[in-house]
Amino acid sequence: MFYVLLFAPLLGFLINGFRFRSTNAKLAGTIASGAILLSFISALFYFGQLIKMPAEARSLSFILFDWIQVGDFSAQMGFTLDPLSMVMTLIITGVGFLIHLFSVGYMDHDERPAKYFAYLNFFVFNMLLLVLGNNLLVMFVGWEGVGLCSYLLIGFWFSDPEKAAAGMKAFITNRIGDAGFLLGIFTIFLTFGTVTFTEIASSVPAEPLTGWTSPITLACLFLFIGAMGKSAQIPLYVWLPDAMAGPTPVSALIHAATMVTAGVYMIIRMNVLFLAAPNAMMIVAIVGALTALMAATIGLAQNDIKKVLAYSTVSQLGYMFLAVGVGAFGAGLAHLMTHAFFKALMFLGSGSVIHAMHEEQDMRKMGGLKKYMPITHATFVCGWLAIIGFPFFSGFFSKDEILWMSFHSPRGHWLLWVVGVIAAMFTAFYMTRLMAMTFWGKSRVPESIHPHESPVTMTIPLIVLGFLSVFAGWLCVPHGLGSVLPGHPHNFLDQWIHPLMGKLEMGHGSLGMEFGLMGVSLVLVFASAFMAYRFYVVDPSLPQKAQARVKGLYDLVANKYWVDEGYFKFIINPLVRLSRHLWADVDVKLIDRATYSISDLFKNAGGGLRMVQSGNMQVYALYILIGVVVSLFFLMAR
């Protein structure tokens, strides 16, 4: 059964891969979705099994074979199903299935649907490897594998050079992270002598190690570099917005729901280790908070609907890192889950919009789509409310927990809370702006396009995800909030993964403080959402005026702080120039010329000696004479 869970997507990949020329989207989609469904069902089966077990013993392990065994290093192709990987598996296969289903409609008219579904299945397989692996190496296999699939899928429409370049950018940026991850693996093995999660967790010292150069801190930082790459944190976030070049369901699955959260998953998985390295956690939290803020500000000024969502994803991932950075692993996972639902929903919704608009992504050419696409609009509203943290929608619970923890946790700080709240405010602004520009207000749709509601295979996933984004939050109601709500709902998610978590004394915060802070953030969020509504629905001329007033700031944000340009100018171009010089100057001019000069030396020496052999017999006689004189000289001098 476990092998069904793991290998059904691989099988789907192989089947679709071998018939990659097929243009039958329905058949390919059925095979692929069936494979994921199979996987999801077996995941549910194991979920049932895990629930039946006692809380402390919830772990199933499966060893395929010994993979690499060198000296005292050994890595198994081993997998483990514990509460944490179970949650992830359910999200991956569940959301994955819905997105596969959506893709059937979305990719209907594509030239190579079988190839698309093959890649998608392969991605799910790799993602399962990532979350199920029982050691860092298997995780790394999945880690690179998802990057690979992401590369293939971003560049799926490779005829467009920009899309192919985006794929490459994603892969290279991920590679930078992967290099860090590798160093992390090395450091961990050299410190603990093992790469298996359970063994690492059991050999981490109980007392946190302060200082920057302790191996644990270094290992955590290295791993976090890996997470930066995969989960698009500062400074490696640049690939994610470009990754929107891929088909929209891919953005939903890979670049919103699953792959980009791998970094968060990894840190939650290694929580014991991170807890032992407060400095590393501090870096994680700071980077997370800054990313949340920065990406949110960039999101304010984007006009491409997918770009807005992409920056929103980066920003939300920043929240997750903020959560795990302050030690709120449960909150991080909760936000991961709710984000998977509502962001997948919104990406699929945007996909539905783009599909309806005939591949138009610019929001300035949309507006008033509400009446053409009621289902899409309705589900999108659910997502919108969830992400801005409207009370009792899913995002509300998880985001509130994160903000509270960043304030309250012993590893937190009030500044982090401030940054988080500002980011939440911006989030509310740009999401409302997105809603307003796309669905509400006057229509700016060009005459030639007749938007229409999407087919049923596309709307069903939207509806299911909409439902989940509304209600999934009730699985992770924060403790303080739960104590006042009717029925006192528990934080099920936190309890579920609790056996895997390291110990971090949280202390008892005051309930009043918690509600006070929540109130502040809610007020700010509502104010900002209302302002966006006023800007983009009530009085569409306001944005122009505002832009004019803060022109410098607006340019900075609209151009994404010139980070991409900076990377090109200060890293990539100099590197390429350097390489050219290395080739032309070192290889050709220096080394080759040096060898030529050696060979010329011999050649010239030969040429010089050739003059001796002049053919002039009298000169030959002279040589004899010279020889005689010299030898006589020696004979007589003796």
List contacts with another protein (CB under 8 A): 20-21, 65-73, 140-141, 144-145, 148, 151, 155, 158-161, 164-165, 167-168, 171-172, 175-176, 178-180, 182-183, 185-187, 189-190, 575-576, 578-580, 582-583, 586-587, 591-592, 595, 599, 610, 613-619, 621-622, 625-626, 628-629, 632-633, 636
- Most distant CA pair in the chain, distance: 125
Nearer residue to another protein within complex by CB, 1 or 575 = 575
State how far the Cα of 148 lies from the Cα of 229, in Å rounded to an integer: 13
State how far the Cα of 320 lies from the Cα of 212, in Å rounded to an integer: 23
Contact 364, 444 (CB under 8 A): yes
How far apart are CB 219 and another protein at their closest, in Å? 12
How far apart are CB 187 and another protein at their closest, in Å? 8
How far apart are CB 169 and another protein at their closest, in Å? 10
Local structure of 103: helix, strand or coil? helix
Nearer residue to another protein within complex by CB, 559 or 614 = 614
How far apart are CB 170 and another protein at their closest, in Å? 10
Provide the residue type at 387 as one letter. Answer: I
How far apart are CB 222 and another protein at their closest, in Å? 9
Nearer residue to another protein within complex by CB, 54 or 615 = 615
- Number of CB atoms found within 10 A of residue 577's CB: 10
Residues in the chain: 638
Contact 203, 248 (CB under 8 A): no
* Helices 394-408 and 329-356, packing angle to 10 deg: 140
175, with CB counted inside 10 A (0-12, 13-18, 19+), is middle
How far apart are CB 358 and another protein at their closest, in Å? 22
Nearer residue to another protein within complex by CB, 165 or 282 = 165
Nearer residue to another protein within complex by CB, 159 or 448 = 159
How far apart are CB 587 and another protein at their closest, in Å? 6
Nearer residue to another protein within complex by CB, 185 or 317 = 185
Q: What is the DSSP letter of 160?
A: S
Nearer residue to another protein within complex by CB, 65 or 488 = 65
Nearer residue to another protein within complex by CB, 147 or 325 = 147
State how far the Cα of 613 lies from the Cα of 607, in Å rounded to an integer: 10
Nearer residue to another protein within complex by CB, 374 or 574 = 574
Nearer residue to another protein within complex by CB, 122 or 426 = 122
How far apart are CB 478 and another protein at their closest, in Å? 38
How far apart are CB 341 and another protein at their closest, in Å? 30
CA distances from 47 to 52, 88, 92, 115, 525 (A): 9, 11, 14, 31, 37
| Token reading at 615 | 């053919």
How far apart are CB 365 and another protein at their closest, in Å? 26
Nearer residue to another protein within complex by CB, 511 or 622 = 622
Nearer residue to another protein within complex by CB, 163 or 335 = 163
Nearest CA among 138, 219, 133 for reference residue 183: 219
CA distances from 356 to 43, 433, 444, 445, 460 (A): 34, 20, 14, 11, 16
State how far the Cα of 228 lies from the Cα of 57, in Å rounded to an integer: 32
Contact 345, 462 (CB under 8 A): yes
How far apart are CB 608 and another protein at their closest, in Å? 12
State how far the Cα of 426 lies from the Cα of 7, in Å rounded to an integer: 42
Evaluate the CA torsion angle 408, 494, 80, 314 in order and state its sign.
negative
* Helices 136-154 and 262-269, packing angle to 10 deg: 170
The enclosing H or E element of 147 equals: helix 136-154
State how far the Cα of 327 lies from the Cα of 319, in Å rounded to an integer: 12
Nearer residue to another protein within complex by CB, 280 or 477 = 280
How far apart are CB 614 and another protein at their closest, in Å? 5
State how far the Cα of 190 lies from the Cα of 23, in Å rounded to an integer: 51
Contact 361, 305 (CB under 8 A): yes
- Determine if the peptide bond prior to 247 is cis (ω within 30°): no
Nearer residue to another protein within complex by CB, 200 or 431 = 200
How far apart are CB 630 and another protein at their closest, in Å? 9
How far apart are CB 68 and another protein at their closest, in Å? 6
CA distances from 430 to 301, 307, 536 (A): 8, 11, 10
